[in-house]
Structure 1
Amino acid sequence: MIKNIKILVALLLLCVSSMLNAQSIKITGIITDPTNDPIIGCSVLEKGTNNATISDMNGNYTITVKANATIIFSYIGYVSKEIKVKTSENINVTLEEDSQILTETVVIGYNSLNSRDMISAASTSSGKRQREKRSKPSISISESDLRSSLEYNKKNKNEEYGSYVENSFKSPLEEALSTLSIDVDAASYTNFRRYVNQGEMPPKDAIRIEEFINYFKYKYDEPTTKDPVKVTTEVGQCPWDEQHRLVRIGVKAKEVEKENLPPSNLVFLIDVSGSMAGPTRIELVKKSMNLLINNLRNTDRVAIVVYASEVGEKLASTSGSEKQKIKDVVDGLVASGSTNGAGGIQKAYEIAEKNFIKGGNNRIILCTDGDFNVGVSSNEGLQELIEKKRKSGVFLSILGYGMGNYKDAKMQTLAEKGNGNASYIDNIQEANRVLVQEFSGTLFTVAKDVKLQIEFNPSQVQAYRLIGYESRILNKEDFNDDTKDAGEMGVGQTVTALYEVIPVGVKTNRLPKVDKLKYQKTNKSNENIILTDSPELLTVKLRYKEPDRDNSVNMELPVLDNKKNDVSSDMHFASAVAMFAQLIKDSDYKGDATYDKVIAQAKSGLENDTEGYKAEFIRLVEVTKSLK
């Protein structure tokens, strides 16, 4: 009898324990450094899950976790801290500085340098080792000086962004076709996040609306035919102008299981010049590459090329089974010298071609801040170099790092012309997203030279405007020209394009007014223009090539508008992101958009947010609203 009671009590305790473990609890607090300053953008992660958040501009955080969960607080340059929680409570956290990073000194040769030159030329290494090796006078910068230099670099930015004229409304009677190269890049969004987490607003030219939209995952229909991509469309009310319609065009690339992917011939091309010194540059590059190395298979191969003043092959092509050997080379990299980026690119292509795997994934992964200052360094010169090399069948992906000296325009040129994609890595969590969670999409191309061409029906559409993609516009003739380069899509990737449409009959002043022509007469009754009675709003055409083919395949999909607004949660969210990007860019077409409208619209689209990126977006909007 007593034995049975003990068993019953044990079972009851087990049930209570299980109930407690299943209970969700809310944890809040402030994250600070040892000087009691708030840490902005600190990662707060429930251990063993994808449940995460970041601290806001005041160091505040809120996260809901399971009882008895362990929370990990981590930020570049600080020692991570783990805390086990049992009940809802307020937990303030102080992160200690990482002595391994902060005891490093910056050593440069004795020269007459101003503070800006110091920052770009400095190289990090063990102070003790450098003192033993140097044979001439040098300047040693202490930890506090290093912090001051980094702060100087932050406040006196030397960053470069391309400038684009915003797309305007067009009449389908004059221009019925809109043609563009697809773009799956998301560097602009993570770069924006970096700025906001520092308590600043980015330059307007740093905002590329399509890259904001395409940072997020949307549920599109999977390809079910032999085509590696499929088009999905949706039409609803435009949230920043209710009289207008918003058209969403989504393209989804096929999924392929990792074990069925072809072997990879990878070349890590790593910028180790002086401008890459520091925890958010070369040190973050090392951590990023180690994440990727962990995902290598035995059939994959990796070579490592570095460039600064000189170019060198640090590791010959090595099997993915020798992970520690590859990591040892990566971990031993030190930043110093000037930047011969073009020489590095040429060397990387040479090695990639030498180890080319027919039918495999041949790719260079360039890690840099884009500050090339030796050899070919202009955007035009680099574009010509890359265009020649891409014919080899080797793809080029760009991982951008750093702040204060980030050359975004150069990154975009390299990625667009190198048949690859560009990502900006602002922290280790983003590196994990790009190189681990989206490993296949980042590195394995299933369709290249993907182009969209939309034909608008003038009997239904008075005017239309492509939102974003200013640098990806093609001539209408380019759509059928297989020699024209366009965007690439990797395994499982999605790409979204939004069009704002003014229906026929809606009063508008959005169409530009042009003086009457002197030498031509216009026919006011449009007798020479015969419109069909088709109810279709538009037709989407898509062209793509197989990665190893030179001839394209064409697909077409007509689109109707039911004049309603019964749209998906993904449509709500994508339109919220577009509205927000237009707000911070101060677009001429932002209509009656407000930050509160963005937040409300985004909250109505929070489905399918297992990784928390959509929730993070809302928090960033709230912080941006405060900054503005």
Structure 2
Amino acid sequence: MKNLLQIILALLFTIQANSQEKTISGTIADENGLPLPGVNIVVKGTSIGTQTDFDGNYEIKANLGDILTYSYLGYVTAEKLVGTASNISFAMTVDSEYLEEVVITAFGLARTRRLPSEAQIKKQKQQAYHNSITRQLNGKAIVNKGLYNGQTIKGINGKRPILYIVDGVPIPYEYNSVIQNMNANQIDFAKVMKPVKAKEVFGKAAKNGCVVITTKSGNYRLESDESYAHITENDFKGIKTAPLSTFSIDVDKASYSNIRRMINNGQQIPIDAVKIEEMINYFNYNYPQPNDEHPFSINTEQVETPWNKETQLVKIGLQGKTYLHEELPPSNLVFLIDVSGSMSSQNKLPLLKSAFKLLVNQLRKQDKVSIVVYAGAAGVVLKPTSGDKKEQIIAALNQLQSGGSTAGGQGIELAYTLAEKHFNRKGNNRVILATDGDFNVGASSDLAMQDLIEQKRRSGVFLSVLGFGYGNYKDSKLETLADKGNGNHAYIDTMQEAQKVFGKEFGGTLYTIAKDVKIQVEFNPSKVKAYRLIGYENRMLADEDFVDDTKDAGELGSGHSVTALYEIILADSKSDFFKPVPDLKYSKIDLTNNYSNELFTVRFRYKKPDGNNSIEMIHIHKDKVQDASVDMEFISAVALFGMQIRKSQFTNNTYIDNVIQLAEKGRGKDENGYRAEFIRLVESYNNL
């Protein structure tokens, strides 16, 4: 009986003791409130411990009255009493003693320990986290040397973005494609972790699986794999040696939305990503509709340059005729969609599918849509389908999934073949390509793609190119495709931009009203000493190309407008930006008073969408400086901002505040809020 009583008392004691044990959870942050992964948490006086995961979260079992210690390199070790609360979350405090300079004595000599730099501290944190990852992998065998290059990893759902951790640094999902294309020779080892285990070790960020990589250098730094065509800014040209200025129009707007994305993400902007003409042409201006047989109106304006008192600005604006939706001819459209592994990010294929649904919802019964996709190979997923069968088209879009390499050339071949097979001689025949441009199978270089598209455009099928995503965005390739394919290029980073391209500018995106539009400007040498075209560096033409109908140029869509700016130095002015050349002996320019009131003559050549011979228009601008219109104030602001972020030599020591002041004066009615957005964007850039 006595023994039984002792057993009962022991059990009661055990039950009481166990009832005091509880699970403590929480989130540990750094001094900025950001999750701090790899914090060591130990029940004081025991060997019981854990670490915070990728999201700074942890769980540990402890008893009431226990002390939990929290330690992390460079931070003050914290102790917390386990009480009735089950959650202990807090921000750790930076160890000031660790950061301060101290003097130590060794062998009788005073030495100073240098203050660690932020970069050193960051590297130490990174190394600590990397070490914690190694411990959590428990020394298991490392597999999968090299990367899978876009193929689905066994045990990981290829439809969802996985977490990459390279040398202890978690990689943002949008840059997964950069890591997937990493050179295998850089990699020391890589371990694949399936979703359940990955989430257990690294938190919810790894819920779709994780790949932990250690490089041979041990200090991998993520670099954007985006590519842009090199731009050499236009300089001032003297009238004596360059009397004509000739270029192709450009209605592309990709540069502005791409720059907007970078500023909103707090990124540095590559200089070659800045195309001032595309920034200016992103916005609509109050140009009148054409009222004669030509498909566009011509508008010019002359003002004092806001950023330079020694020069003047000249604006040349074209306004394309706007056709109502029901007035557009039937469309034979082929959606050519990149579904390769590099398109897996949320801002690529998922955004693309949502964007295309906006277009599908505007199609009519007489319109036909086909869908071609490409990854490792190309294939047709939707045969020509009437535009009134929207559910069928959208269902085909919804089924698209990403994975594999990128055979862009094959996709283009197949899309054009399909468009040509169902060619509508009285309609609008167009391929709409949507991709990040990261072609890596078959024809892939910019030159190879140019050759391919130049062959295909002879079919009479036009091309629209839509860029998506970032990290490996190939702007140079997509610009080449659009330029050579008789089409336009837009960059879609949000559904707002998709609504602009497929909603507000639907007709211009789909229907070309004039092709091979060229501009040639001749300034009056009695009035102008020198000029420079602002932007259009990649659109310059030889003077003789203007009358050569075999030379390709830009296209103008329904409702599209085009604006070009010249900065000019008057004949009687001086400027540090232009050094005069000696007088010519054998080709002296004879000035005449017959055109004393003219500043310049601008000639335009264009072809009808189905034509082969160009039509010429001439517009003469009288020499008259005006007060800047509201549109001109805004155009000047956009041009100056573009010059500033390009680090142009012609900004004349202006500041961002000058841009904002100009933009405010040029804000106008701003019905859609795009100009207000520009002002906010400039202010954000000023704070970077």
TM-score class, shorter-chain normalisation, is 0.7 to 0.9
SS in 2 for 1:505: coil
> Quick one: distance in 2 between partners of 1:191 and 1:541?
32
* Counterpart in the other structure of 2:667: 606
> Quick one: distance in 1 between partners of 2:678 and 2:338?
31
Instruction: State the AA in 1 paired with 2:546.
Output: F
Deviations 1:93-123 (A, max 9, x none): xxxxxxxxxxxxxxxxx84335987999997
Q: Is the 8 A contact 1:419 1:487 kept in 2?
A: yes
After TM superposition, the score normalised by the length of structure 2 is: 0.70
* Counterpart in the other structure of 2:51: none
Instruction: State the AA in 1 paired with 2:527.
Output: Q
Aligned pair partner of 1:419 in 468, 474, 486: 486
Q: Is the 8 A contact 2:515 2:553 kept in 1?
A: yes
* Counterpart in the other structure of 2:172: none
* Counterpart in the other structure of 1:541: 603
> Quick one: distance in 2 between partners of 1:171 and 1:600?
32
> Quick one: distance in 2 between partners of 1:366 and 1:117?
21
SS in 2 for 1:421: strand
Change (3 A) 1:341 1:462: same
1:314 maps onto 2:381 in alignment: yes
1:588 maps onto 2:621 in alignment: no
Cα drift, residue 581 of structure 1:
0.3
Change (3 A) 1:216 1:37: farther
> Quick one: distance in 2 between partners of 1:313 and 1:542?
41
Instruction: State the AA in 2 paired with 1:484.
Output: K
How many residue pairs get matched? 504
Q: State how 1:553-564 maps to structure 2 within 5 Å.
A: 553-563=615-625
Instruction: State the AA in 2 paired with 1:247.
Output: V
Cα drift, residue 502 of structure 1:
0.6
Cα drift, residue 140 of structure 1:
3.6
Deviations 1:540-591 (A, max 9, x none): 111111101111110001112223x412100000010000000010011111
After TM superposition, the score normalised by the length of structure 1 is: 0.77
Instruction: State the AA in 1 paired with 2:145.
Output: S
* Counterpart in the other structure of 1:388: 455
Cα drift, residue 508 of structure 1:
1.6
> Quick one: distance in 1 between partners of 2:479 and 2:248?
14
Q: State how 1:136-175 maps to structure 2 within 5 Å.
A: 140=194, 144-145=205-206, 155-175=222-242
Bigger relative contact order (CA 8 A; separation at least 6): 1
Could you tell which deviates more after superposition, 196-205 or 383-392?
A: 196-205
Change (3 A) 1:119 1:185: farther
SS in 2 for 1:485: coil
* Counterpart in the other structure of 2:146: 113
1:190 maps onto 2:257 in alignment: yes
Instruction: State the AA in 1 paired with 2:159.
Output: S
> Quick one: distance in 1 between partners of 2:446 and 2:503?
30
Deviations 1:215-263 (A, max 9, x none): 0000112110111111100010111102210000000110111111100
> Quick one: distance in 2 between partners of 1:126 and 1:470?
40
Instruction: State the AA in 1 paired with 2:613.
Output: N
SS in 2 for 1:371: coil
* Counterpart in the other structure of 2:325: 258
> Quick one: distance in 2 between partners of 1:317 and 1:284?
23
SS in 2 for 1:495: strand
Q: Is the 8 A contact 1:120 1:275 kept in 2?
A: no
Change (3 A) 1:172 1:615: same
SS in 1 for 2:652: coil
SS in 2 for 1:464: strand
> Quick one: distance in 2 between partners of 1:532 and 1:118?
71
Indicate the RMSD between aligned Cα atoms, in angstroms.
2.6
Q: Is the 8 A contact 2:317 2:563 kept in 1?
A: yes
Instruction: State the AA in 1 paired with 2:670.
Output: D
* Counterpart in the other structure of 1:235: 302
SS in 2 for 1:410: helix
* Counterpart in the other structure of 1:578: 639
Cα drift, residue 512 of structure 1:
4.2
1:284 maps onto 2:346 in alignment: no
SS in 2 for 1:125: coil
Q: Is the 8 A contact 1:154 1:403 kept in 2?
A: no
Cα drift, residue 607 of structure 1:
1.2
Cα drift, residue 529 of structure 1:
2.1
Q: Is the 8 A contact 2:330 2:366 kept in 1?
A: yes
Cα drift, residue 593 of structure 1:
2.2
Aligned pair partner of 1:403 in 461, 467, 470: 470
Cα drift, residue 507 of structure 1:
1.4
Cα drift, residue 345 of structure 1:
0.2
Cα drift, residue 418 of structure 1:
0.3
In structure 2, stretches of 5+ residues that fail to align are 1-31, 36-142, 162-190, 199-203, 213-218
Aligned pair partner of 2:438 in 356, 366, 371: 371
Q: Is the 8 A contact 1:267 1:365 kept in 2?
A: yes
Q: Is the 8 A contact 2:465 2:488 kept in 1?
A: yes
> Quick one: distance in 2 between partners of 1:432 and 1:575?
26
> Quick one: distance in 1 between partners of 2:153 and 2:578?
48
Instruction: State the AA in 2 paired with 1:328.
Output: A
* Counterpart in the other structure of 1:125: 159
Cα drift, residue 147 of structure 1:
10
Change (3 A) 1:244 1:308: same
> Quick one: distance in 2 between partners of 1:160 and 1:561?
42
Cα drift, residue 509 of structure 1:
2.7
Q: Is the 8 A contact 2:149 2:405 kept in 1?
A: no
Sequence identity, in percent?
49
Change (3 A) 1:466 1:490: same
Q: Is the 8 A contact 2:152 2:158 kept in 1?
A: no
Q: Is the 8 A contact 2:151 2:403 kept in 1?
A: no
Change (3 A) 1:522 1:438: closer
SS in 2 for 1:528: coil
* Counterpart in the other structure of 1:621: 682
* Counterpart in the other structure of 1:529: 589
Instruction: State the AA in 2 paired with 1:554.
Output: E
* Counterpart in the other structure of 1:81: none
Rg larger in 1 or in 2?
2
SS in 2 for 1:537: strand
SS in 2 for 1:353: helix
Instruction: State the AA in 1 paired with 2:245.
Output: S
Q: Is the 8 A contact 1:434 1:442 kept in 2?
A: yes
Q: Is the 8 A contact 2:310 2:575 kept in 1?
A: no
1:569 maps onto 2:630 in alignment: yes
1:486 maps onto 2:486 in alignment: no
> Quick one: distance in 1 between partners of 2:635 and 2:471?
30
Q: State how 1:416-455 maps to structure 2 within 5 Å.
A: 416-455=483-522
Deviations 1:417-468 (A, max 9, x none): 0000000001011001001111001111000000100001110001100000
Change (3 A) 1:154 1:280: farther
> Quick one: distance in 1 between partners of 2:317 and 2:457?
27
Deviations 1:101-159 (A, max 9, x none): xxxxxxxxx843359879999974279xxxxxxxxx97545651479999x99952111
In structure 1, stretches of 5+ residues that fail to align are 1-34, 39-109, 128-136
> Quick one: distance in 2 between partners of 1:204 and 1:240?
21
Q: Is the 8 A contact 2:159 2:403 kept in 1?
A: no
Q: Is the 8 A contact 2:193 2:210 kept in 1?
A: no
1:474 maps onto 2:535 in alignment: no
> Quick one: distance in 2 between partners of 1:405 and 1:485?
29
